[in-house]
Amino acid sequence: MEKDSKKLEEQIKKLDATIKEESGKIAAGDMKEGDRTIRKDNGIYESHKFFKGKPFVEANHPMFSIYTTNCDPSDSNVELKQPYDYTKPNYTNMTNGRRHRLIRYSEVLLWYAESAARAGMDLTDAKKYLKQVRKRAVTDYENVTLSDGTTVKIDAMSADQLADACYIEHGWEVAG
């Protein structure tokens, strides 16, 4: 964020100009409302990123790190036999100093389903896996509300709809 008032004023003018330009394109039918790159809501600017015309979120690598607890806190060379606990210090006699990555099984299923849909593969297993992930969390697991607001049965989804549904489900999975 700019602290210099002149630079900040210039930045605001550029954002407002972009909003005005995009509003003109939308009014002329050359652009859809959902394709805006900048929005202003109650004086707050919000930028949107797009890839091939679709909004995306930058990766934040939501996998969990876990640490070994097989060391005595008073002497890291003494190995203890106990389960993992992420709050304990890393054991120094591991083969490398890297943390282990713990990936939720639901993420693996969603990765498969989304990539199968985007790659044009057979969607039978992909739909089954999306249902499996949703079944443990919601009662109406067969119906998914997509980003455009429509509700579609998983079995009736096209590849694009399935990819969108998996993308949305990733957000719920990472959110907890």
Dihedral of CA 143/146/149/153: which sign? negative
134 belongs to a structural domain: yes
- My answer on whether 117 and 157 are in the same domain is yes
Q: What is the pLDDT of residue 95?
A: 44
Based on the fold, state whether residues 85 and 42 are members of the same structural domain. Answer: no
* Whether residues 10 and 31 fall in one domain: yes
Task: Please state the φ and ψ torsions of residue 96, each to the nearest 5 degrees.
Answer: -145, 170
| 56 in any annotated domain | no
Mark whether 96 and 114 lie in a shared domain: no
Q: Is the domain of 116 the same as that of 149? A: yes
Is the domain of 109 the same as that of 171? yes
Query: How confident is the model over 27-32, as a mean pLDDT?
Result: 90
170 within a domain of the structure (yes/no): yes
What residue type is 63 in one-letter code?
M
pTM of the model: 0.47
**pLDDT tens string 33-89:** 777 778 787 777 777 666 665 655 555 444 444 445 566 667 666 666 666 666 665
Give the domain-ending residue among 51, 73, 88: 51
Within a domain: 88: yes
Question: Does 39 lie in the same domain as 85?
Answer: no
Do residue 74 and residue 39 come from a single domain? no
- Based on the fold, state whether residues 28 and 86 are members of the same structural domain: no
Domains identified in the chain, total number? 3
Residues 69 and 30 placed together within one structural domain of the fold: no
Phi, psi of 97, rounded to the nearest 5 degrees: -85, 5
Average per-residue pLDDT in the chain? 78
Residues 98 and 116 in one domain: no
Is it the case that residue 97 has pLDDT exceeding 50? no
Q: What percent of the chain has pLDDT over 90?
A: 32
Higher-confidence residue of 119 and 3: namely 119
Q: Has residue 21 been placed in a domain?
A: yes
Both 21 and 70 in a single domain? no
- Structural domain contains residue 58: no
Would the pLDDT of 119 be above 70?
Answer: yes
Task: Please check whether residue 46 lies inside any domain of the structure.
Answer: yes
Domain that holds residue 10: 5-51
Taking CA atoms, 15 is separated from 2, 8, 52, 53, 167, in Å, by: 13, 11, 22, 20, 29
In a domain, 57, yes or no: no
Q: Residue 134: pLDDT above 70?
A: yes
